[in-house]
Structure 1
Amino acid sequence: MTYRILPIFIFIASLAACVSPKVVEEVKQQRQETFQQNQEIKKENNSLSTENTELKDRLSRLTSEVSQLISDSTQRAITCRQLQAQLKDLNEAYDLLTAKNSQMMSNKAEETKKLLKELQNTREELLKKEDELLTLEQNLSVKQKELLKTQNELVDREQKVVELQSIINRKDSLLSALKDRISSALLGFEGDGLTITQKNGKVYISLEEQLLFASGSWQVDTRGRDALSKLSIALESQQDINVLIEGHTDSIPFGGRGQIKDNWDLSVVRATAIVRILTSSSSINPERLTAAGKGEFVPIQTNNTPEGRSANRRIEIILTPKLYDLYNLLDN
C-alpha cells in the first residue's frame, strides 16, 4: 500500500515547484492530512490484518468444528436412523405385546369369569352340602335317640324274652309233669283206645269211641266213667290248667234221634256228657271246662276205611296252661 501512495507524493512534489506558497502550504497541509490518514489507514490495515488473521484462525477453527459437526452430524444421523429403526422395532414389538396382552387380558377375563362362576357354584354347592350335613346331623341325632330308645326297648324285650322263656319252660315242665301224672292215673287204659301226647304247649288226651260210648250213643259206659273219674281227680288240683273237651265223629251220616239230628249234634252232646262226668266226679271248677262239637270235620285219619273211621270217632280232652303271667308280660 506504501508503494501505491509514493507516486502520489512525487506528483505532489512536482506540483509544488510550480505553485505558490499558499498552494504549497495547502499541499503540505493536505500532505500532513494524507500522512495522518495514511497512518490511520496503516493502523487500520494492521488492525484489519490482525483481525483477518484472527478471522482466518477462527475460520479454520470453525471449518474444523463444522467438519467435526458434519462428521458428528453424519454419525448422529446414522445413530438416529439406527435408533429410529430400533424405535420402529420396539414400537412393533410393543404393538405386538399390546395385542398379545389384550388377548391375554381377554382370555384372562373369560377365564376369571369362568373361575368366578365355578367358585360361585362351588360356594352354592358347599352351602347346599352344609345344609344337607346339618340335616343329616339332625337326622343322626334323631336316629341316635331312636337307636338308644330301640336299644333300651331291645334290652327290655330281651329281658321279657328271658322271662317268657322262663314261663314257657315252667309251663312245659308243668305240662310234662301233668302228662306223667295223667299217664299214671290212666295207666290201665293206654293201648285200649286212649293216647296221651304233648305238643305245641298242650297235652292232648284222645279217647276213642269204644272206650266211652256205644255206637250212635252219647251215654258213657262204666269203663269210660272209671277213666274219666280218675282223670278228673288228676285235674282237680291243677288250677292253672284249662280243659277243652271236643267231640268228633266219622263221616257216616247220623240217622237222628229226638233232638239229635246229625253228627254235629252228636259230637256236641258227647262232649257235654264228658263235662258232666268230670264235674260230678271231683271238685274241679266248671269254669275251667269247655265243651265243643266238631262233627266229622276234623278227622285224624281217612274215613274210607273202618279203621280210619274208628280213629276219627273220638273225644279229645285238650289241657292248656293258663298263661296269665305270659299274657301280662306281653301286655306290658
Structure 2
Amino acid sequence: MIKKIALGLLGVSLLSSCVSRRLYNELNGQYETAQQDNNRLSEELESLSGDRSLLEKERQKLQEQLAQLEEERDQLNAEISAAQGTLSTLTDSYSTLEKSSAAALKAEAERLNKLKLELEERSNRVTELEGKIAAQENQMKKLKDNLSRALNNFEGKGLTIEHKNGKVYVSMENKLLFKSGSWAVNPDGKTAVEELGKVLATNPDISVLIEGHTDNDKILGALGGGIEDNWDLSTKRATTIVNLLAENNRIDKKNLTAAGRSEYAPLASNASAEGKAKNRRIEVILSPKLDEISKMLNDL
C-alpha cells in the first residue's frame, strides 16, 4: 500500500515536474516576447517622444508665425481702415470738386456765351456804324460834286471847294465877297452865296459853320468904318454870310453857325500881298451831323 502510494507520489511528482517545465518554457517565451514588445514599445515611445518634441517646436514656431501674421493682419486692417478713410475723404473731395467744377464750367460757358453774344452785337453795331460813316462819306462827296456844279462859274475867281477829313470846305476870298474893310457883300459874292444856299437847302442834315478870316493888317480909326479890330471884322463878315443864307426859307437856321477867327488861322504868310489876299476869306465848313454816330460810338 505504501509502495503504491510512493509510486503514486513519484508519478505525480514526475508529472508535476513535466508540467512546470512546459509552463515555465511557455511563460519564459511569453516573457521574452513581452520583453521584446517592451523594448520595441520603449523605442517607439522614445521615437514618439522625439517626434513630440519636434512637433512641439514646430507648434511653437507655428504659433510665433501665427502671432506675427495676426500682427501683420492687424496692421493691414489698420492700413486698410486708414486707406478707406482717405478714400472716403478723397471721394467726398472729388464729388465736391466735381460739383464745383461743373458749376464753374457752367458759369464760364454762360459768361463766354454772353460775351460771344455781346461781341456779335458789337460787331453788328460796328458794321452798322461803318455803313453809316460810308454813307455820310458818300453824301459829302456827292455834296462836293453838287457844289462844284452849282458854283462852277465862281471857281478860279477866289472860290475853291475841297473834300477832306469827312467834310467839305468852301473857301471864298474877300475879293469875291467884300471890299476892303467892309462887311457888305458884292453882287457876285451874293450870287455865289445864294447858289451855295440852294445846294444847302437840299441837304438838311448838314451842319454849316461860316468862319471869317483876315490878314494881320490892323484896323486904324475911321478906315474901319466902325470896325474895332480884325476880330470884329471877321465876325461881322461871317454873320453877314449867315444872314444871306438864312434868307433861303428852306435852310434850317439851327444848322447855321457864324464864327470870327480874325488873323489867327492863316493859309499863307502875311509877308506878301498874295499871302494876305489868301488869308482874307470866308470858310464855309460843311459837316455831317454826328449825333447818331457819336451815340453809336458811345454804345460800343
- Show the counterpart of 1:7: none
Q: Does 1:123 align with 2:91?
A: yes
The letter for the 2-side match of 1:264 is: W
Report how far residue 186 of structure 1 moved: 1.9
Structure 2 unpaired stretches of 5+: none
Q: 1:47 to 1:177 in 2, by over 3 A?
A: same
After superposition, residues 311-322 of structure 1 pair within 5 angstroms as 311-322=278-289
User: Is the deviation greater in 223-232 or in 259-268?
Assistant: 259-268
Q: Summarize the Cα distance change of 1:59–1:139 in structure 2 as closer, same or farther, 3 Å threshold.
A: same
CA RMSD of aligned residues (A): 4.1
Q: Which moved more, 1:199-208 or 1:99-108?
A: 99-108
Residue of structure 2 in register with 1:14 after alignment: none
Determine if the alignment matches structure 1 residue 142 to structure 2 residue 121: no
The 3-state SS of whatever aligns with 2:170 is strand
SS of residue matched to 2:153:
coil
Output the amino acid matched with 2:188: R
Which residue of structure 2 lines up, in the alignment, with residue 70 of structure 1? 39
Amino acid across the alignment from 2:233: L
Structure 2 residue 201 is the aligned partner of structure 1 residue 225: no
Q: 1:280 to 1:152 in 2, by over 3 A?
A: closer
- Report if aligned partners of 2:181, 2:225 keep a CA contact under 8 Å in 1: no
Match of 2:150 in 1: 185
Does the residue aligned with 1:247 lie in a helix, a strand or coil?
strand
**Unaligned ranges ≥5, structure 1:** 1-27
Does residue 133 of structure 1 match 2:101? yes
Aligned length: 297
More displaced stretch, 286-295 vs 48-57: 48-57
1:301 positional shift: 5.1
- Check if 1:206 corresponds to 2:171: yes
Secondary structure in 1 aligned to 2:285? Answer: strand
Select the structure with the greater relative contact order (CA < 8 A; seq sep ≥ 6).
2
Q: CA deviation at 1:52?
A: 5.8
Equivalent position amino acid for 1:269 in 2: K
Deviation at 1:91, TM superposition (A): 2.4
Do the aligned residues in 2 keep the contact of 1:246 with 1:292 (CA within 8 Å)?
yes
In the alignment, which residue of structure 1 is the partner of 2:236? 269
Helix, strand or coil at the partner of 2:152: coil
Matched to 2:93, the amino acid is E
Q: CA deviation at 1:75?
A: 3.8
Q: What letter is aligned with 2:53? A: Q
When normalised by structure 2's length, the TM-score is 0.75
C-alpha contact (below 8 Å) 2:268/2:278 kept by paired residues: yes
TM-score, normalised with respect to structure 1:
0.69
Once the two structures are superposed, what CA deviation does each residue of 1:281-329 show, in whole Å capped at 9, x if it has no partner?
7754433322123344544556677665554443211223456886898
Deviates more, 1:66-75 or 1:234-243: 234-243
1:153 Cα deviation after fit: 3.0
Report how far residue 273 of structure 1 moved. 0.9
Displacement, 1:112?
A: 2.7
Q: Kindly tell me: are residues 125 and 301 of structure 1, through their superposed partners in 2, closer, same or farther at Cα, counting changes over 3 Å?
A: farther
- Match of 2:27, as an amino acid? R
Q: How far, CA to CA, are the matches of 1:215 and 1:40 in structure 2? A: 208
1:48 & 1:307 partners in 2: Cα distance? 191
Decide which structure has the larger Cα Rg and report it: 1
**Alignment partners' CA distance in 1, 2:13 and 2:247:** 193
**How is 1:285-300 mapped onto 2 (pairs within 5 angstroms)?**
285-300=252-267
Aligned 8 A contact 1:229 1:282 in 2: no
Q: For the residues of structure 1 that align with 2:199 and 2:174, how far apart are their CA atoms?
A: 22
Calculate percent identity across the aligned residue pairs. Answer: 31
